[in-house]
Structure 1
Amino acid sequence: MPEIAVRMTKRNHNAFVHLLGALESQGFDLSELLITKDFREILRARPKVVLYSFFTEEIWENLPQEIRLLKDMGTLLVAGGYHAIAMPKHTLNQLGFDIAVIGEGEEVLYSLLSALKNSGYRVTKELLNIRGLAFYLNGEFVFTGFAKVEDFWRFPPYPESVRLISPIEITRGCPFGCYYCQTPYIKGLRMRHRPIDQIVKYSRRMKDMRYITPNAFAYGSPGAILKLNKLEALLRALQPLRKEGRRLYYGTFPSEVRPEFVLPETLELLIDYADNRRLAIGAQSGDDAMLKAMHRVHRVEHVKQAVEYMLEYGFEPIVDFIVGLPNETEESQRKSIDLMRWIIARGGKVRAHYFMPLPGTPWARCRPSPLSDEMKKFLGRMAAKGKIEGSWGMQIELSRKLRKLMDEFYEEPMSHTVPVRNVC
């Protein structure tokens, strides 16, 4: 039986598919792994090590129960993902993991598994030589540094020996540093892009070609500017695959586009080269003061202009908002309502989210603002009409749990590039 298990879930599927591709490309034999979404299969196999990757929201789901069962069997537990990176001590001390992977995992995971195999799956001083780990050694907390993979494209986006597929990460990092978002602080402030020839090569395995990027129209640029020639070169290179029957979805799930990048010239590229006629953009607020406070680096006028361009060119706008932002007044919420109403009246759709203080962000310790009666009524009425999507109701309770977690266990977070400063 395999001595190492990978605990796949719906939410960590994309991350583990990429990491398995990286492991395989470095010479790791994936047949040595039990890769499964069925936890019962892991219990039956009784592996020496189980790999996890999870978001903070998942610590209130089945994760604690799974950890208890595995610890009772003497299993060594390794955690990666956003929560482990932002809160390694909580991951080790409170959740019960033995090792937390801190940073980008392609290289550190290979080194870690190799070292564990050599040590009989024990935490030893040999792990001190591997950058990107947090663990306890002789009762002392050890952090070996943040693991960085500048050229992530050295690793394929999926393995060849295992039939797993996911949207391809074509861009990593984000220069804008929005205060509510984990991505720029964990993936870096500089955008790095997978080369076009690789994207074409690996896209052949997909029927629907979808990509992971924080800003789809920024392909080929450092991040804050548009490189139209680079974007067009990518989309044009994928056309032979479309002619073979594949469909290209660009700027929509699981990625999005910043509103100031939505221009006639970028939309014309989608009309010529892509199949989707929906486009997802992040507005986040209808109040310029709130946009400035959250470090969005765009204004309401950019959102309105983007929506108008999309409608003019035949695209359905899907616009994200965050409600209950820190220090958001009733007047600020009224401005968001006005912008949502304006978008809906023109045929767009709104996705509403309640603010969640995520660890590893500058707003991790900030307090959400209560929703005004006007906002509650508006969201409920528009949701009943099918004009607004989102899980803001469930997120209110989740936000409360996150706030309590931050109050009790806040840690100064690890970061890819710059220290994450608390701005609350």
Structure 2
Amino acid sequence: MKILFVAPGWPRGRLWGELGFKFPSLALAALAAVTPPEWDVALCDESRGAIDFNAPCDLVAITAMTPQAPRAYEIAAGFRSRGKTVVMGGFHASNLPDEALGHVDAVVVGEGELSWPLLLADFQAGRLQRLYRSPGLLPMASIPVARREIFAGKGYLLTNTLQTTRGCPFDCEFCSVTAFYGRKYRERPVEAVLAELETLRKANSFAFFVDDNLVADRRYALPLFRGMKGMGFKWLSHAPIDFAGDEELMRAAGESGCIGMFVGFESLDQEALAAMGKVTNSSSAFLDQARKFRDHGIGILGSFVLGYDGDTPDSFGRILRFCEEARIEAAIFPILTPYPGTAVRRRLEAEGRITSNDWRDYDMGHVTFRPTKMTARELQEGHDWLNRSFYSFGSMWRRIGKLHRSVQVFGPMNLGFRSAIRKSDRTKAS
């Protein structure tokens, strides 16, 4: 029997749909790894090529984030009209399983590695259930090595993505991670991670850890970084800004080949940081902390959430000035988005402030709620201006003009974001 794993594409004309660099779905490769050997598996990533709805398969498995959900439902309808059985998982289906079940034959809620083999056995026996929930959290020692061979021939720039931890000890109001993975911070054995890295470096010297907070437990991260030293990797991941306060751990990360971290600054307003639950951030320390990252050869892809209740039309210029003064190598500026399953959605629903449930607009680039200290139009225009200004040639020169080892990644990243923003702007204008 054969499974076709499907990753829906992002809409063209939207920022994430126009970006040239795409990462493969590690979640689908992980499910492929726990698929019994009698099944043949194949991957269709719509961002890398058109979907063949007549592809030979017995079962279609789709994963989708919220802004991809409408396209996922269209894809499901296309396969079901041809008599195929379609199942769906991922963040959106896990948070809204009843909605998803209106479009597919079965839904997998939460981490799928434990329930996926049961679903396949039920399908083979002709007793497929409508809903599958994992009986518990996956033991981290049991995380399988992803079957990355399903990425072959897709033209990905990088396939060396891996996960070492799940969950987050914090509970930021806007974040959907804890709703999916829980707050308990769980870690794979360091030896298992290093063994996987040994195999990965045969293919590429770059690696990306998809962990939401790789350094939450220094007792875990420090031996991992020391074990990676000398392996020759250039790698990126996610870390909070207060990572800068641990000199020993930061030095170990730099020496192990870390050249960049995704860092959630989220706001320059301390009251807003407190409201969103970003308890580790102190805005008064941001400049010094950013310098410490750079001093260790680690560039920053910063994130600033726009539209929190304290934000005003003056916030956008303030963020740009800070980014240029701190020489933030790259950044994203997501509009506050009330994703299903998050605390911020529950709050905004209770306050009657959600203005749209069109999931296509839940791409962090569109306003779907009513702000308090500016209009929705001012928030949208401020977001658009900030993106264009940050990725202007002048700002790029001020931020990354001085040579730094992270420029090998962040230089192309800036050009990629600039190109995607310009394409998105042209689509809006047409």
1:85 aligns with 2:68: no
User: Which residue matches 1:241?
Assistant: 231
Q: Distance in 2 between matches of 1:238 and 1:311?
A: 20
1:357 aligns with 2:338: yes
Alpha carbons of structure 1 residues 31 and 100: separation in structure 2 relative to 1, 3 Å: closer
How far did 1:22 drift?
2.6
User: Which residue matches 1:381?
Assistant: 389
CA contact (8 A) 2:29 2:148 kept: no
Q: Distance in 1 between matches of 2:146 and 2:384?
A: 43
How far did 1:180 drift?
1.1
Alpha carbons of structure 1 residues 173 and 261: separation in structure 2 relative to 1, 3 Å: same
| Offset from partner CA, 1:134-176 (integer Å, 9 cap, x none) | x2xxxxxxx6655433413313221387676541110100011
Query: Which stretch has the larger CA shift, 73-82 or 262-271?
Result: 262-271
How far did 1:248 drift?
3.3
| Aligned pairs for 1:20-419 within 5 A | 20-23=32-35, 28-29=36-37, 31-37=39-45, 40-45=51-56, 47-61=57-71, 63-93=72-102, 96-119=103-126, 122-123=127-128, 127=129, 135=130, 145=133, 147-159=135-147, 165-206=159-200, 207=204, 208-218=206-216, 221=217, 227=218, 229-242=219-232, 247-249=233-235, 252=236, 255-263=237-245, 264-276=247-259, 278-297=260-279, 298-325=281-308, 327-330=309-312, 334-335=314-315, 337-349=317-329, 350-364=331-345, 366=348, 367-369=369-371, 370=376, 371=378, 377-385=385-393, 387=395
Q: Distance in 2 between matches of 1:66 and 1:159?
A: 24
User: Which residue matches 1:404?
Assistant: none
Query: Which stretch has the larger CA shift, 367-376 or 7-16?
Result: 367-376
User: Which residue matches 1:17?
Assistant: 29
CA contact (8 A) 1:87 1:359 kept: yes
CA contact (8 A) 1:7 1:51 kept: yes
Q: Distance in 1 between matches of 2:387 and 2:44?
A: 39
| Offset from partner CA, 1:304-361 (integer Å, 9 cap, x none) | 3321322444543332111123x2441xx63564244123124223322222221111
Q: Distance in 1 between matches of 2:387 and 2:50?
A: 38
Q: Distance in 2 between matches of 1:11 and 1:84?
A: 21
Q: Distance in 2 between matches of 1:238 and 1:256?
A: 17
Alpha carbons of structure 1 residues 3 and 273: separation in structure 2 relative to 1, 3 Å: closer
Q: Distance in 1 between matches of 2:226 and 2:124?
A: 45
How far did 1:14 drift?
1.1
CA contact (8 A) 1:52 1:78 kept: yes
Q: Distance in 1 between matches of 2:151 and 2:421?
A: 35
CA contact (8 A) 2:63 2:90 kept: yes
Alpha carbons of structure 1 residues 394 and 261: separation in structure 2 relative to 1, 3 Å: farther
Secondary structure of residue in 1 paired with 2:321: helix
| Offset from partner CA, 1:283-312 (integer Å, 9 cap, x none) | 011111111111111221343332132244
Alpha carbons of structure 1 residues 183 and 151: separation in structure 2 relative to 1, 3 Å: same
Alpha carbons of structure 1 residues 112 and 145: separation in structure 2 relative to 1, 3 Å: closer
Q: Distance in 2 between matches of 1:176 and 1:60?
A: 30
Secondary structure of residue in 2 paired with 1:6: strand
Alpha carbons of structure 1 residues 162 and 343: separation in structure 2 relative to 1, 3 Å: closer
Secondary structure of residue in 1 paired with 2:344: coil
CA contact (8 A) 2:115 2:134 kept: no
How far did 1:268 drift?
1.6
CA RMSD of aligned residues (A): 3.0
Q: Distance in 2 between matches of 1:144 and 1:346?
A: 47
Q: Which runs of 5+ in 2 are unaligned?
A: 9-21, 153-158, 349-368, 397-413, 426-430
User: Which residue matches 2:403?
Assistant: none
Alpha carbons of structure 1 residues 289 and 161: separation in structure 2 relative to 1, 3 Å: closer
CA contact (8 A) 1:324 1:368 kept: no
Q: Distance in 1 between matches of 2:160 and 2:385?
A: 38
**Matched AA of 2:341:** G
Alpha carbons of structure 1 residues 385 and 117: separation in structure 2 relative to 1, 3 Å: same
Q: Distance in 2 between matches of 1:161 and 1:335?
A: 45
CA contact (8 A) 1:4 1:50 kept: yes
Q: Distance in 2 between matches of 1:160 and 1:351?
A: 28
Alpha carbons of structure 1 residues 381 and 32: separation in structure 2 relative to 1, 3 Å: closer
Higher relative contact order (CA 8 A, sep 6+): 2
How far did 1:103 drift?
1.1
The TM-score, its normalising length taken from structure 2, stands at 0.72
How far did 1:49 drift?
1.9
Query: Which stretch has the larger CA shift, 281-290 or 162-171?
Result: 162-171
**Matched AA of 1:237:** G
Secondary structure of residue in 2 paired with 1:70: helix
Q: Which runs of 5+ in 1 are unaligned?
A: 128-134, 136-142, 222-226, 397-424
Q: Distance in 1 between matches of 2:422 and 2:275?
A: 24
